[in-house]
Amino acid sequence: MGQVGFATLEEALRYAAEHPSVRQIVLAWDGVQTLRAQLSEWSLLRERPMSLRAAQGHQVVLAITPDENGGLHGLEPPMIALGPARWTFEGIHWVWNLDPTLQARQGWSLFELAGSIEATFRDCTFTISNVDEQGFAVHPNVAVFRVVPNQPVGMTGDSSEPHETNTAPQIWLERCLVRGEATLVCHQSGDSMLFSWRQGILVTPGRAAMVRPAPSLDPSPPPRVELHFEDVLLFAARGLMLAESSPLEATPPELALHLTHCVTVVEPSDPPVAVVDLRGIEAEQWRPPELTGRRNRYAGTDVALRVQGEGFEGGRRPYTFEELRMKPPSWYGEELPQPLPRNPWSPWSPAASLATKRGLVGEPEQQRTLQMLQFEPELWKWIPEAPELERP
């Protein structure tokens, strides 16, 4: 099949949904193109490799601004619900503006994934604006990626259809920049998940990940939620992971967090923020999380893990990095230096969430902080520069 041209991405998606032979959409414009929320074509592209990439030499910006008049569906409406396929996105700047006047929902997400999905993002930037005029975050439970329970074939349609066997959703980021008032990834499924990010920058006033598992139809073996970060600069004010569960979930998921050559900066507070926070999980029902790392640096806290739930002293138990290193079997596999003193600057202001990569480390005090953290800028020199934007 030869090339077919379209004026908008929506037209191209519609054509691709109707023609299973289409495997790639090349975006060849400069500037901002508006994309409607909840296009059905995303979920119709199924069971095939699908690539969306910016043409060489073009700065492609896709902006999504949800509108109640557009008929948003769901208690936690996603802007893009990806169908079960192998997706690749390259060189795209995603801009997501959440109007403070939107109707209150339980949560919002830019991308929603369920079932057998593999989504790879290379050289992409994600900018989320979720603040009011005073600069305060408005909508709660906002996520860039949200993993939700999968509905097996035959449960909602023709019961004669065969049951679909699914693998865990996989999300891969390479050389990406994520900034704004949102959680990076939120897991709300009884299924497993793999999230991997190599080279990039995250700036959020919240957390990198939240795990709130749904009851599983088949809890044996238990689901596994696994996150890998390598060469990533993580400015996550409230820590890297919050996992919440309750006695209603018979089998809490296995948790794994692997860090390699990363810098994690949290907001200094009293009590200190924990890098990993487990809540509401009874002691006898969960396995210690896998916390492994190599050549990492931390600032703003000395608490690696905090457990809040029944079966622990006073209902709360913080573990410092030193305690975890000495606890057999070791929950943390590296010999870490003492976490650094409080960072002398705060990158979580609303202005910082719209800062570019260059602006994020452009001030002398910020550069000194990175030098203290022993984070070599050349490791992320290939991360794409996000476009300069203003708050709507």
Domain boundaries, the chain: 9-150+167-380
Q: Which residues of the chain have pLDDT under 70?
A: 1-2, 68-71, 151-166, 215-220, 246-251, 281-287, 309-317, 325-345, 351-355, 359-380, 390-392
258 contacts 293 by C-beta, under 8 angstroms: yes
CA distance 73 to 38: 8
Q: Of all helices (H) and strands (E), which one includes residue 118?
A: strand 118-122
pLDDT at position 125: 94
Render pLDDT for 107-134 as a digit per residue (tens, 0 to 9): 899 999 988 899 999 999 999 988 887 7
What are the backbone angles phi and psi of residue 41, rounded to the nearest 5°?
-60, -30
Single out the residue of 127, 129, 270, 273 nearest to residue 201, CA to CA: 127
332 contacts 292 by C-beta, under 8 angstroms: yes
CA distance 56 to 30: 11
Enter the DSSP assignment of 5. -
pLDDT at position 159: 38
pLDDT at position 360: 66
pLDDT at position 163: 40
pLDDT at position 339: 59
Q: Where do the H-state alpha helices sit in the chain? A: 9-18, 41-44, 321-326, 350-353, 357-360, 364-372
Tell how strand 183-187 and strand 297-299 pair up: unpaired
pLDDT at position 340: 61
Report the amino acid identity of residue 372: M
Tokens 């008049």, residue? 69
CA distance 244 to 251: 12
CATH architecture of 9-150+167-380: 3 Solenoid (2.160)
CA distance 363 to 152: 51
Residues across the chain: 392
CA distance 79 to 131: 18
pLDDT at position 55: 94
pTM: 0.89
